[in-house]
Structure 1
Amino acid sequence: MTSVLSQFDISAKPQSIPPLLGASLDELTTWVQQQGQPGYRGKQLHDWIYHKGVRSLADISVFSKQWRSELAEIAIGRSTEHYRSVASDGTIKYLLQLDDGQIVEAVGIPSDNRLTVCVSTQVGCPMACDFCATGKGGFQRNLGRHEIVDQVLTVQEDFQRRVSNIVFMGMGEPLLNTQSVLDAIRCLNQDVGIGQRNITVSTVGIRDRIRLFARENLQVTLAVSLHAPNQGLREQLIPSARAYPLRDLFTECREYVEITGRRVTFEYVLLAGVNDLPEHAMQLAKHLRGFQSHVNLIPYNPISEVDYQRPSSDRINGFLAILKQQNIAVSVRYSRGLDADAACGQLRSQKANV
C-alpha cells in the first residue's frame, strides 16, 4: 500500500493535507506525533474516525479546544447525502455528494443475517457497456480511497448495523482505479474490521490487471463481468473487449486461480434474445469446463436508455439447466431494490441534479 506519511507534513498548509479517512492506525499515530501530540492521540483519532463516525475534527471531544481549532480546516473526508431512494425490500440507494460536487452511488442491501454495501470506485465509468446506465453517463474521475471507505461507513451508520459484506459492483471499473481500491480494501479490512473473504471486486477485465491483482495476496473474491460466451457478442456489449480478446481474459483468470487458489466468479447478465439462447449456454460451458469458477446469472434490469429486455422465467431457467447439465457451478442472482431504481447508474442519471 502506498504510504500517506509523506503527504502528512506538519509544515504543509491545511488545504494541502489529504483527507484522514483511509489512513491506518500507524499512519494516524505518526501524523499526530508530527503535530506535536503524544502517540496515544493516534488511537483516539482512529477510534473516532472508524468507530464513532466523526465527520469533523472539531467534534472530537477528547482533543483540547486549542488543538481542535488548529485542525479546523483539515478534512476527515466524509461525503454528504444528496438523495436517497428506499425500496420495498429495505434496500436503500444513496447519492453521495463529494467535496468537488460530484455525485456517486452507494447501496445498502440488508437481509436477516447480513448487511451488504455495493460501492462505487469511479464517478461514472469509461467502459461504456451497451446495457449499463452508468456507462451511458460517461466518466468523470477516479475515487480516492477515502471516498470508497466513506460509502461503507455511511451505510453502516444509517442502518445502525454492522456491515458484513462489501461488493465493488457500483459505478466504475475497479481495476482502472487499482491503487485506491487496494488501499480501500486494506482499510476496510484492518481498520473497519470487515473480513477479506466477505469482499468481492467486480471487473469487466483489464489486460494484465487481474494478474497484478492476484499478486497482492488478498483473500477477496474476484468477479469478472463476462456477459457473452463469444468474442463477437462480447464486443457488441462491451466495447473494451475489442482490445482484450476473450481467450486472453480466460488465460489471465486461470492464472488468478493458480496464484491465489481461489475460484473466479463470472457474472453474466441475461439479455432477452441477445445472449440467453441455448447455444450461448453451451458456448459458455465449453469455456468453463475444468475451471475453478462459479457463474452468477443476472436477469437484466431494464433502463430507459436502451431497448434490451429481461428474459422470461422459462428462458432463465433453461439457461441455468443447461449449465448445470454441463457440470458448471451456477446460480441465479436476482437484483434487489428494483422498485427504487437501485440498479447501478439508474438513480444517479435521474436525480443527480435534484
Structure 2
Amino acid sequence: MSNALHAALFEAPPQAADAKRTLVGLSRAELTDLMQEIGEPAFRARQLWHWIYHRGETDFAKMTTLAKPFRAALAERFDVGRPGISVDRQSIDGTRKWLLKFADGQEAESVHIPEEDRGTLCVSSQVGCTLTCKFCHTGTQRLVRNLSAGEIVGQIMNARDAIGEWPSPQDGRLLSNIVMMGMGEPLYNYDNVAKALKIVMDHEGISISKRKITLSTAGVVPMIGKAGAELGVNLAISLHAVTDELRDKIVPINKKYPIAELMQACRDYPTLNNARRITFEYVMLKDVNDSPADARALVKLIKDIPAKVNLIPFNPWPGAPFERSTNEAISKFAEIVFNAGYASPVRTPRGEDIMAACGQLKSESIRERKSVRDAAAAH
C-alpha cells in the first residue's frame, strides 16, 4: 500500500459541522492564514502561538495580551483544549500512562517515564497499528486510523499539563525528551508526524530540540531518508532479528523492506555521525533471537554504522506467544555487542504494573468500517 493511499484510508474522520475548530496542530503558516481569513493582522498568529504552545493556555479569556472582543470572538469559533482522559494511571516506579480519547471517541496511549536526568514522553502516532509485529501487544490491535498533528501534539500538551510544566522551561525539564515509540508506525503517518514535530521543535513554543526527539520505525525504508532530511531528529530502528527468515516472521514489514535495504537506508541517513548515532532496538525473546551467534551476527550487520543497541527484555502480556530471555542470556548478548565497540544498554522495564512498558500499549478502540465512515462524511 502506498503512503498516500494509506493516509487516505486511515485519516481522522471529519469534524461535525457545529464543532469548534481546534487551533492545536495548525502550523505557523496555517495559523497566520486563518487570522487573515477572519480579518486579523498576521501578528495575531504569533501572539496565539505564544499562548498556546509556550504558556499552554486553554482558555482564550486568559490570553491577556489580546483585546477582550477578540478573545470573545475566538472562544465562539475555536478551541485550544486537550484530548479527553479516559484513564490516568501511575506505576510504582513513577511511570505514568494516559489513555486519551479524541473527538470521534477513538483512543490512544502515551507514557511519561521520569528519570534522574530527564523525563521522556512516549507518543503514539496511530490508533492501533498496521504492522502486526508478533512480540508487540499494540500489534494485536488492528489499525483504526492515523492521528492528526493536533492529536499528536495534544499528547505532549496533556503531559505538560499533568506535570505542571507551563510556561515552557528552558532548563531542568521534567519532560525533556520525546520518543515516537507509542502506538503505530510513525512513517506510515509521516505528514502528520512531521507537522506535529515541527510544532514541538519551534523555539517560540514547546521548544524541544530535535536532538531530544527520537523517531522509531520498524523499517519503512522509502521514508527514512525523507524524515532525516526534513526533520533531523534521532532515528531508532526496531530491528529485533538478524536474518530475513526470522524477521519476516516477527516483524512482517521485513517482507517488503528486507534487512539489506534497511541497513543501507541507515547508512545513508542524513546527519548520521558518531555524535548522533542510530539506535537499534532489539527485544530479547527467549530461544528465538538471543543466542551468542545472534549477537555476533548483529555486530556484523551494523558494522561501520555509528550506532548503539538498546536491548529490551520482552515485556509480556496475557496470552503473549514469547517469553523473556534469561538474565544470563541478555548479559552474554550485551557483552558481545559491547566488546565489538557498540554501547549495548539493557533497558530497565518501566511501568509493567500498569501495562505501560515497551510493546504493551493497547487501547480498546475498534476499527470502523470504511463504508460507515464514508456514510458519516456524506452527512
Aligned to 1:179: 191
| Bigger mean CA deviation after superposition, 81-90 or 32-41 | 32-41
Structure-2 change in CA distance of 1:36 and 1:238 (3 Å) = same
**Which residue number in structure 2 is paired with residue 240 of structure 1?**
253
CA distance, structure 1, for counterparts of residue 345 and residue 359 of structure 2: 24
Q: CA deviation at 1:136?
A: 0.2
Distance 1:97 1:344, change over 3 A: farther
2:122 counterpart of 1:122: no
Q: CA deviation at 1:105?
A: 0.4
User: Aligned AA for 2:310?
Assistant: N
Do the aligned partners of 1:223 and 1:266 also contact (CA within 8 Å) in 2? yes
Distance 2:23 2:196 in 1: 13
Q: 1:298 aligns with which of 312, 317, 328?
A: 312
Partners of 2:81 and 2:17 lie apart in 1 by: 13
For 1:334 and 1:32, the matched residues in 2 are separated by 47
Which has the larger displacement, 67-76 or 116-125? 67-76
Give the alignment of 1:1-354 within 5 angstroms: 19-55=22-58, 57=60, 60=63, 62-65=66-69, 68-69=72-73, 71-76=75-80, 78-161=82-165, 162=173, 163-190=175-202, 191-216=205-230, 218-256=231-269, 260-261=272-273, 262-344=276-358, 346=360, 348-349=362-363
Q: Distance between the aligned counterparts of 1:243 and 1:95, measured in 2?
A: 32
SS in 1 for 2:76: coil
- Classify the secondary structure of the residue corresponding to 2:78: coil
Number of residue pairs matched?
Answer: 338
Identity %, equivalent residues: 40
Change (3 A) 1:157 1:67: closer
Runs of 4+ in 1 over 6 A off after TM superposition: none
2:112–2:119 Cα contact (<8 Å) kept:
yes
Q: What SS class does the counterpart of residue 47 from structure 2 fall into?
A: helix
Contact 1:91–1:108 (CA under 8 A) maintained in structure 2: yes
Pair 70,270 (structure 1): closer, same or farther in 2 beyond 3 Å: closer
Distance 1:243 1:24, change over 3 A: closer
* Contiguous gaps of at least 5 residues in structure 1: 1-12
Change (3 A) 1:141 1:77: farther
* Mapped contact 2:286–2:324 kept (Cα < 8 A): yes
2:193 aligned partner, one-letter code: V
CA contact (8 A) 1:124 1:135 kept: yes
Letter in 2 for 1:159: I
Distance 1:345 1:288, change over 3 A: closer
When residues 128 and 15 of structure 1 are mapped into structure 2, their CA distance, relative to the original with a 3 A threshold, is same
CA drift at 1:199: 0.2
- Of 267-276 and 47-56, more deviation after overlay is shown by 47-56
Given that 2:108 and 2:363 are in contact with CA atoms closer than 8 Å, whether structure 1 keeps it comes out as: no
* Residue type of the alignment partner of 1:154: N
User: Contact 1:87–1:340 (CA<8 Å) still a contact in 2?
Assistant: yes
Kindly tell me: are residues 67 and 286 of structure 1, through their superposed partners in 2, closer, same or farther at Cα, counting changes over 3 Å? closer
1:292 Cα deviation from its structure 2 partner: 1.4
Structure 2-normalised TM-score? 0.82
Structure 2: unaligned runs, 5 residues or longer: 1-15, 166-172, 367-379
Counterpart AA for 2:353: D
Distance (Å, rounded) in 2 between the aligned partners of 1:291 and 1:221: 14
1:178-205 C-alpha deviation (Å, 9 max, x unpaired): 1111111110000311011000000000
- Mapped to 1, the partners of 2:142 and 2:81 lie a distance apart of 25
